[in-house]
Amino acid sequence: MIDSILAALPGDFPWQNQIHWFDTIDSTNTRAKAMARQGAPHGTILIADRQTGGRGRLGRSFHSPAGMGIYMSVLLRPQCPPEALMHLTCAAAVAMCDAVEEVTGIRPGIKWINDLVIGHRKLAGILTELTLGSHSEHVDAAVVGIGINCCQAVSDFPPEIRDMACSLEMALGSPIDRAALAGAMIRHLYRMGNALPQRDQILTRYRRDCVTLGQEISIAQPGLVRHGTALDVDGNGALLVRLPDGQEEAVNSGEVSIRGMYGYL
């Protein structure tokens, strides 16, 4: 697999000697953070065929069976404070839409903040984790992990997510070349890493793909579930919501559900 992925990259690709393939791993994000502590460079990529402890946002697990998906993390070493990376998950989401579209012709939507969707079903998730330097206000490592469902049929998903998940093969109705997609993901992550300072352009593209905007939503935060209308994504990637009393609030944590999607009625 690693040879096919490398074949999908230009011969002079700057990160080509930093791509690590694992048949099985606990979590590519967990391992990337460990490698960061040991000094792994900017642009280190980890890809696994299977994860035994794939993690998602809000402490959830990410189902990562062998031969079915792409489970990838990139380690970035941006020399900046964490505030300058508020849009990193948004940037990764747009980059992954670009990669999927390039390889399949299908452009997924983005469900704020970190899910790629096709129709009303989840195709992929993104988990961004920042580590601060011990003696500085700067980010020591930013790990962006992406899991994309590629080859599953409906029956391959566990019953609890069967009605809300989809794969590229389900959407396309034909086989998907995982190595070609992994190569495209790596190339688009490289471009994303260089383009991060262009925050406004990235967020303009994010808003275009974001299927949450204009929708009736619920916002679940610890001890509190509220309803509202999703209006916009602000300059930090937060979701601007109008609440029933007319107040507007920038939401940047918790679970946002869209009516009619993932079984939310």
Residues near ligand BTN, by CB under 6 A? 27-29, 51, 54-57, 60, 62, 71-73, 114, 125-127, 145-147
Q: State the nearest-atom distance from the C-beta of 127 to ligand BTN, in Å.
A: 4
Radius of gyration of the chain (CA): 18
Q: Which is nearer to ligand BTN, 139 or 148 (CB)?
A: 148
Q: State the nearest-atom distance from the C-beta of 184 to ligand BTN, in Å.
A: 16
Q: State the nearest-atom distance from the C-beta of 213 to ligand BTN, in Å.
A: 20
Q: Which is nearer to ligand BTN, 56 or 82 (CB)?
A: 56
Q: Which is nearer to ligand BTN, 163 or 248 (CB)?
A: 163
Q: State the nearest-atom distance from the C-beta of 141 to ligand BTN, in Å.
A: 14
How many Å apart are CA 203 and CA 17, to the nearest integer? Answer: 31
Residue 92, Cβ density class (10 Å: 0-12 exposed, 13-18 middle, ≥19 buried): buried
Q: State the nearest-atom distance from the C-beta of 70 to ligand BTN, in Å.
A: 8
Q: Which is nearer to ligand BTN, 103 or 146 (CB)?
A: 146
Q: Which is nearer to ligand BTN, 50 or 138 (CB)?
A: 50
In the chain, the N- to C-terminal Cα span, in Å, equals 41
Of all residues in the shown chain, the one whose CB is closest to ligand BTN is 125
105-123: buried (b, 16+ CB within 10 Å) or exposed (e) per residue? eeebbbbbbbbbbbebbbb
| The CA-based dihedral angle spanning residues 88, 67, 55, 23, taken in that order and rounded to the nearest 10 degrees | -90
Copy the structure tokens of residue 5. 């992925």
